[in-house]
């Protein structure tokens, strides 16, 4: 996802002009897991969120994983 974010900003003028941070990107683009690419949002609605965690913060990473699993089970 992160690599594709950089690639999209390097190749598409529209994405570059928005000058978005990685955490702001899902407000304007949708990640397609099958195609492994970002596509421009057709609707302005954002439901999900992107959690950013330092890889050295093991306890915090585990809490986010548990929260994600809990959300997926309900």
29 DSSP β-pair partners? 40
- DSSP, collapsed to helix, strand or coil, labels residue 23 as helix
Q: What is the pLDDT of residue 50?
A: 64
Q: How many residues does the chain have?
A: 74
pLDDT in tens, 32-71: 888 989 998 887 766 666 667 777 778 877 777 777 666 6
Give the tokens for residue 30: 């949708």
What's the whole-model pTM score?
Answer: 0.58
pLDDT of residue 31: 87
Cβ atoms of 18 and 8 within 8 Å: the answer is no
- Angle, vertex CA 49, rays to CA 45 and CA 53, nearest 5: 160
- pLDDT for the residue 62: 76
- Rounded to the nearest angstrom, the gap between the alpha carbon of residue 21 and the centroid of all alpha carbons in its chain is 10
């Amino acid at each position: 996802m992160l690599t594709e974010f950089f690639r999209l900003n390097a190749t598409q003028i529209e994405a570059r002009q928005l000058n978005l941070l990685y955490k702001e990107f899902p407000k304007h683009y949708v990640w397609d897991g099958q195609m492994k690419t970002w596509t421009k949002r057709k609707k302005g609605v954002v439901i999900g969120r992107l959690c950013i965690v330092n890889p050295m913060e093991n306890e915090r990473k585990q809490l986010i994983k548990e929260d994600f699993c809990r959300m997926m089970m309900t």
